[in-house]
Structure formats: C-alpha cells, structure tokens
C-alpha cells in the first residue's frame, strides 16, 4: 500500500519539484545523478535503489 501512495504523490510533481528532489539527493548523499538516470526514476523504490547503488560504489 505504501508504494502506491508514493506513486500517487510522484505522479503530481512538476518538473521543478523533480529537479529539487534530485538536487537534494545529490547534496545530501554527495552523489551525482545524470539526466538520464533522473529520467528513469519513476518511483520511490527507484530512488532508493539508485542512491544505494551510488553510495556503495563511491
């Protein structure tokens, strides 16, 4: 049920909110997310997996 709630919220974010989320992730976790990677983020789970991958490979 929780992932469905996140998808509902994600669906209604605009481009500027998406950019803000990416920038905060990069700053908080000291990682870089490419435009291509950002375009492929469709859910909260996608974000968690990408950030975890980036942290573990740094």
pLDDT in tens, 7-53: 555 565 667 777 888 899 999 999 999 999 988 888 888 999 999 99
CA neighbor of 3 nearest in space, from 43, 39, 41, 42: 43
Q: Which residues contact 54 (CB under 8 A, 6 or more apart)?
A: 29, 31, 32, 33
pTM comes to 0.73
With left for phi above 0 and alpha for psi between -120 and 50, is residue 32 left, alpha or beta?
A: beta
């Amino acid at each position: 049920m929780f992932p469905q709630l996140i998808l509902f919220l994600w669906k209604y974010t605009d481009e500027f909110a998406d950019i803000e989320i990416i920038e905060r992730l990069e700053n908080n976790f000291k990682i870089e997310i490419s435009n291509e990677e950002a375009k492929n983020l469709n859910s909260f789970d996608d974000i968690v997996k990408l950030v975890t991958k980036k942290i573990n490979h740094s």
